[in-house]
Structure 1
Amino acid sequence: MSDIAPRPGLLRRLAVNKRNLAASGAGVAVVVIAVAAAAVSLADASAEPDPAGVAAAVPPSAVVSAPGSPSASPSASPSASASASPSAAVSKPAPVAPEPVVPRTGWIAVDSAAWKAQVDAYRALSFEPAPASVGNLPEFRADCEYSHSLPDDPIVAPGLPGASHMHSFFGNEGVDAGTVADDLVRFTATTCEPKQDHSSYWVPTLYDAATNKAAEPTGFRVYYRSLMSDSAKQLPMPNGLRMIAGDAKKKVPTPRGATGQFYCAYWEPGHDADGVARSTNGNWPICEKQAYLHFILQFPDCWDGKHLDSPNHKDHVAYGWNNACPASHPVKIPAITFDIQYGVQGSQAGYYLASDKDVRSSSSMHGDAFVMWDVDTMNKRTKNCVEQRRTCDNYGYLK
């Protein structure tokens, strides 16, 4: 197994704390950060969903310093500080770093006020005129590069570094096991275009079975699209939404023609997506020289409108059916689709995923999405591209 890289999210949080301490001799900024951190503590994992009275978790977009909060105010006025004796100043206790936010899992309620504000802003938008050349595929996208690998999963095993199999991360560069929604807002360095996408996306790391070396993706495109024939009642995606597609525990063979297999991508007539041959165990295609291994992973397009996460990270979302969302999940959101390219063409030895070293099939392929966008950008892209059913790229209309 490859060496584990330092956890970038942890290093960044430590750096942020150091800067906060240096900037606030009286500890004011530190306390403000503690207030903001406490505001994003999420619902207890053991709680059951209660549609009538779920305590709303404050999303990161709504977290600000509370100027009227007693805990956010200095303990003494500037004039009082100026008149203090030198001995009193020396004996003043040193500022204490805030306790880190403990990630939670389970049923996590959306902040209903913040979600209502986003929906109101979305509905107030008008369609921006699209050039006549724009296609009618209802989608926009983010193109991301590989960021880092860690045996962490801030959705399935939050706050437990090293508790997961190895994952390859894309997008937000500060993500590790301790990442919470607020971190995605503060740590905005990303490998994605557009930069307004602060989300984190990850999949199990792929290994070459002959060398046991990681084969990291050379292309990672995230589509946000409509899977339905019309976009009536379309809404944007809420920030802080977490979800998983696929099954990390599934370990069954993936022979030629099986669902859930990797395929060979090469856009020419007569090309065989299943490959010109198979690996020795039959689970992996061997591509012709112009093609590379790809995988498509489709996420749900319907949401319950109440929870940002659920105990199994799937029950709060659902796949639409017959061009409609089920009554249990009535909110139509853009469907995330991972289109992943690996810079390999297959081999007799084949490959294996970090989630399945035994069967060495691709059936355990899965993906995680921890969504965090600039709200205005998410709203405009959803309105112009998905609801209006026009083809967009990373920055707007695809002309």
Structure 2
Amino acid sequence: MRRTSRKKRSTLADRAIAASAALILGGGGLVAVNVYASAGEGPSGSPPTRTQNAGRQLSTIDCPEAVNGLPEVPDRARGEVDRELAAMDTQITDAYRQFADRKEQLARDPGLAENAVLGPLRGKRAASLDRIGIAIGRVTERPEGLESLAGCSLRADDDQGRGQGQGGNGPEAADFVDIRSVRPDADPPRKRRGASRGSFTTDCGRNENGKFNPDNVIVAPGVSNGAHHMHDYVGNQANDAFASDDDLADGATTCRNQGDRSTYYWPVLRLQNGQDEDDVDADGGGRDQNTGEIQTPSRVTLRFVGSPVGRVTAMPRFLRIITGDAKAFTNGDANANASWSCTGFEDRQLKDTYPICPEGSQVVRTFAFQNCWDGQNTDSANHRTHVAFAQDDGRCPNGFRAVPQLVQRIVYDVPPGPGFAVDSFPEQLHKPITDHGDFINVFDERLMRTMVRCINDGRRCR
């Protein structure tokens, strides 16, 4: 897959600026149709509302996140449940593609969206939810009320600039802000007596060797294109949808210290300059509405830090952590953890907008991962409840213990202006709030012990 080099990026400035101007000045939304915004049950199972869409623009398909409505999934059912959840993502992607491909028909026939797209989508989701219920019911009591998670609606918006980039799939002009207009954030809380003040930095490169795939072995194990967007990978080179813990343990690594075979991955960032990437006809790329030239980071820093109130303990091997929410545009920001900024302005962090950096400044993505672990599980059914963030006072929630916190910083040398976006699920419209990162700990025990000692002793180690 072609990757845009730093030298080449500098020659793309004029095209990127032209694309930025087009993004700001023109283009309609994905579909402008006269349909009801909520046709059928809404995302929370609410009854339909007859909100007329005349003069409004269809933004995206809005479905409830099924995993958030499930009870604890037994281990013996988890494989089948994960496959059905991944299938539901594919169902939404296919429905979104139908909207994009049939927008002229939808404009002429307001009932087509409901009859030909939304109705069948709800039926497929209901069937998947029924299979999830059966899978769980084979092991324990079958959960009730899953059918309420089948409802999907069309999200409409009054913003006439919505969805302009990527052929009507976002981002829009309002998703960008000049970093110089943003007020600096408040000072971070001070570390208290007894804090673990050290750090451990691992150097795993910038994905110079071009490892990409649209899989997500944490969320959708065993499912090709489980992410519906392309990921950059550094560290472990065995990571794909089918990688087992043994595969990861035996995999090669790009990390300088070979004791770190962990896998670190995140959605790629692309220039929105009208140029095709090699994946323009591939899953995770153009088939999932992700277009433009993939950018190689100019710098990637992977640093583990301590607790502001006490010592940290070792992470278990194969601990899986997802930070942020790839579906925050439709799910809401409860699990969002995006942080965007510019070099020289990193005291100004953005959550739901991309930064426009001044000349000479570079775009920065920062992920601070969860730093508390439940002491028992390396994963959970929703891939979240086994880890947590420390509370406002710096302490872990009851039953959790502090572990080294991964702080991931990714820097890009892109032309000034709003001509870039991260890959996303198609219906998430490349919104900056959907940014997220994934980590699987495959440090060997000796190196993990070294990390913990460095952090607890207040040293800076590499």
- Shared fold, TM over 0.5: yes
Change (3 A) 1:186 1:352: closer
Question: Alpha carbons of 1:355 and 1:3: their partners in 2 closer, same or farther (altered >3 Å)?
Answer: farther
CA contact (8 A) 2:233 2:263 kept: yes
What displacement does 1:43 show?
A: 3.8
CA distance in structure 2 between the partners assigned to 1:229 and 1:374 by the alignment? 26
1:391 aligns with 2:460: yes
Residue 370 of structure 1 deviates from its aligned partner by 0.8
**1:328 matches 2:399:** yes
Q: Which residue of 2 aligns with 1:161?
A: 224
Q: Does 1:142 align with 2:202?
A: yes
Query: Which structure has greater helix proportion?
Result: 2
**Given the superposition, is the C-alpha separation of residues 205 and 356 from structure 1 closer, same or farther in structure 2, using an over 3 Å criterion?**
farther
- 1:218 partnered with 2:287: no
Q: Residue 111 of structure 2 aligns with which residue?
A: none
Contact 1:205 1:354 survives alignment (8 Å): no
User: 2:337·2:367 contact (CA, 8 Å) conserved in 1?
Assistant: no
Corresponding position: 1:236 with 2:296: no
Identity of aligned residues (%): 29
Instruction: Write the distance in 1 (CA, Å) between the matches of 2:459 and 2:346.
Output: 30
- Could you tell me which residue of structure 2 aligns to residue 304 of structure 1? 374
Q: Is the 8 A contact 2:339 2:367 kept in 1?
A: no
> Are the structure 2 counterparts of residues 162 and 288 from structure 1 closer, same or farther at C-alpha, using a change threshold of 3 Å?
same
What is the TM-score with the length of structure 1 in the denominator?
0.57
Alignment of 1:179-258 (within 5 A): 179-187=243-251, 189-211=252-274, 212-231=292-311, 234-251=312-329
Determine if contact 1:167/1:354 at 8 Å carries over to the other structure: no
Could you tell me which amino acid in structure 2 is paired with residue 334 of structure 1?
P
Report 1:34-45 matches (<5 A): 43-45=75-77
Q: Match of 1:29? A: none
Alignment of 1:289 onto 2:359: yes
Q: Answer with 1 or 2: which has the greater Rg.
A: 1
For residue 192 of structure 1, give the secondary structure of its aligned residue in structure 2.
Answer: coil
Give the AA of the match of 2:256. E
What SS does structure 1 have at the residue aligned with 2:363? strand
Q: CA deviation at 1:197?
A: 0.5
Q: Deviations over 1:20-62 (max 9, x none)?
A: xxxxxxxxxxxxxxxxxxxxxx942449xxxxxxxxxxxxxxx
SS of structure 1 residue aligned to 2:364: strand
Indicate the residue corresponding to 2:121 in structure 1.
none
Conserved in 1, the CA contact under 8 Å of 2:307 and 2:402? Answer: no
SS at match of 2:433: coil
How far off its partner does 1:229 sit?
Answer: 3.4
Counterpart secondary structure, 2:358: coil
Query: Structure 1: how far apart are the matches of 2:385 and 2:295?
Result: 32
The 1-side partners of 2:236 and 2:78 are apart by 29
Alignment of 1:1-399 (within 5 A): 43-46=75-78, 137-145=197-205, 146=207, 147-164=210-227, 165-187=229-251, 189-211=252-274, 212-231=292-311, 234-251=312-329, 260-266=338-344, 283-321=353-391, 322-329=393-400, 331-355=401-425, 359-383=429-453, 385-392=454-461, 394=462
Counterpart of 2:379, as a letter, is D
For residues 125-147 of structure 1, give each alpha carbon's deviation from its aligned partner in whole angstroms, at most 9, with x where no partner exists: xxxxxxxxxxx842101122215
Question: Is residue 264–residue 293 contact of structure 1 (8 Å, CA) maintained in 2?
Answer: yes
Contact 1:292/1:344, CA 8 A, preserved across alignment: yes
Q: CA deviation at 1:287?
A: 1.8
Q: Which residue of 2 aligns with 1:34?
A: none
Cα displacement (A) at 1:353: 2.5
The 3 A distance-change label for structure 1 pair 274 and 361 is farther
AA of the residue aligned to 2:219: V
**Could you list the runs of 5+ residues in structure 1 that have no partner in the other structure?**
5-41, 48-105, 107-135, 253-257, 395-399
CA RMSD after TM alignment:
3.0
Q: 1:346 to 1:315 in 2, by over 3 A?
A: farther
Whole-angstrom distance in 2 between the partners of 1:243 and 1:388: 25
Structure 2 Cα separation of the partners of residues 240 and 373 of structure 1: 8
Which letter maps to 1:298? Answer: A
Q: 1:249: Cα distance to partner? A: 0.1
- Rounded to whole Å, the distance in 2 between the matches of 1:360 and 1:305 is 35
* Structure 1 letter corresponding to 2:212: S
TM-score normalised per structure 2 = 0.49
Distance 2:235 2:256 in 1: 9
CA distance in 2, matches of 1:388, 1:138: 6
In the alignment, residue 179 of structure 1 is paired with which amino acid?
A
Task: Tell me which amino acid in the other structure corresponds to 1:327.
Answer: N
Give the distance between the partners of 1:348 and 1:335, measured in 2 at CA: 31
- Judge conservation of contact 2:216–2:240 (CA < 8 Å) in 1: yes
